[in-house]
Amino acid sequence: MMDFRGKKVLVTAGTGGIGLATAIKFRSHGAAVAITGRNAETLNAVASGHGLRGHVSDASDEESVRQLRSEIEESLGGLDVLVNNAGIAGPTGLVDSLDLEDWEETLKVNLTSQFLHVKHFVKMLRCSGTPSIINISSAAGQHAFPGRAAYASSKWAVIGFTKTVAAELGEDGIRVNAVCPGPIDGPRMRAVMEAKAAMLAQPIAEINMEQNRVSSLGRMSTAEDVANMVLFTASSLAGSVTGQALSVDGHIEKLY
C-alpha cells in the first residue's frame, strides 16, 4: 500500500521541482522526510514550510555527502528510501561546441552525485526492512537528444548505474530503480527550450509546439506526475520491481 508511516526518506535537491513534489508526497503519506539543498536560506524556508527536515549539502561533493550521512543518522535515525534527484540541465549545443568544463560538471552533478549517495548510504539502507533507492534519470536517458549530449549521456549512464547496483544489492533486499521523466513544465525546461531556440535560430513558440508534439499526450508532464511514480516505486505495491527504468513521459519515442 502507499502507506509510509514510520518510514524515513531522503530526497536530494528537494527545494523545488520534482524533488519538492516528491518530498511533499512522501510526507503526506506519513513518512519522515529530509531534503537537501545548497542554499541554506531557501532550504530552511522550504523545509519549515512543508514539515520537512532540511540539510545543507552539495550532492556532488564526497565530503559533504559524508557529513550528510552523519546528520541523517542523527535526525532520522536510519533510512528506508533514498531518492537521488540532484541534477542540472547542462549545456545546449552541438557536440563540437561544448566546453569540457560544462561536460564534466554535468556528469558530476547528474551521475557522480548518485554514486556518492548510494556508496555512503547503502549501509544504512541495509538496516531497513523495506529499502529502496530511486534514481532520477530522464527520457533523455532512453532516446537520442541532439544538442543535449552532456545531459543525455549523464542520464543514459544513470540507467546503467541503476541496473548494475540493483544486481549488486538484490541479495540485501534493496530495490534500485530509475524513474525517467519526460519534459517537465517548469523553469528549467523553459530555459532549455530558450537555449534550443537560440541554437537553431527558431522562434520559441515553434520550439514549444515541437516539444509538446513529441509526447503522445501532446503535453509536458508535471513534477507531481513524477512524484507519484517515485512513491509507487518505493511502496510495497512494487515489491518485485527492481533494476527498471520507469518512464513518466506521456509516451515519448523520440526527443527531436
Domain ranges, ordered by start, for the chain: 8-184+222-248
In the predicted model, what is the mean pLDDT of residues 141-165? 98
On whether the pTM is more than 0.85, the answer is yes
Considering only residues 32 and 192, tell me which one the structure prediction assigns the higher pLDDT.
32
- Dmax of the chain from CA atoms? 54
- Given pLDDT bands bounded at 50, 70 and 90, which one contains residue 178? very high
Query: Would the pLDDT of 111 be above 70?
Result: yes
**Number of C-alpha atoms within 13 angstroms, CB side, residue 213?**
7
- Residue 1 has a pLDDT of 64
Pick from 20-34, 126-140, 177-191, 207-221: least confident: 207-221
- Among left, alpha and beta (phi > 0; psi -120 to 50; other), residue 25 is alpha
- Residue 90 has a pLDDT of 97
CB distance 188 to 194 below 8 Å:
no
Helices (DSSP H) in the chain: which residue ranges?
Answer: 17-28, 40-50, 62-75, 100-107, 113-125, 149-169, 187-200, 204-213, 223-234
**Number of C-alpha atoms within 13 angstroms, CB side, residue 43?**
17
Name the fold adopted by 8-184+222-248. Answer: Rossmann fold (3.40.50)
Query: Would the pLDDT of 98 be above 70?
Result: yes
CB distance 46 to 20 below 8 Å:
yes
Catalytic residues: 151
Q: Which residue has the cell 528549467?
A: 188
Query: Would the pLDDT of 231 be above 80?
Result: yes
- Residue 218 has a pLDDT of 86
Apex CA 97: angle with CA 93 and CA 100, to 5°?
105
**Which one-letter DSSP state was computed for residue 243?**
S
In the predicted model, what is the mean pLDDT of residues 81-102? 97
- Among left, alpha and beta (phi > 0; psi -120 to 50; other), residue 203 is beta
CB distance 69 to 89 below 8 Å:
no
CA distance 231 to 168: 23
- Closest of 22, 127, 26 to residue 79, by C-alpha: 127
Sheet of 53-56: strands edge to edge?
Answer: 53-56, 32-37, 8-11, 81-84, 132-136, 175-181, 245-248
Work out whether the CA dihedral 71, 75, 80, 84 comes out positive or negative: negative
- Given pLDDT bands bounded at 50, 70 and 90, which one contains residue 208? confident
CA distance 152 to 142: 8
Above pLDDT 70, what percent of the chain? 99
Write down the mean pLDDT value for the chain: 95
Query: Would the pLDDT of 212 be above 80?
Result: no
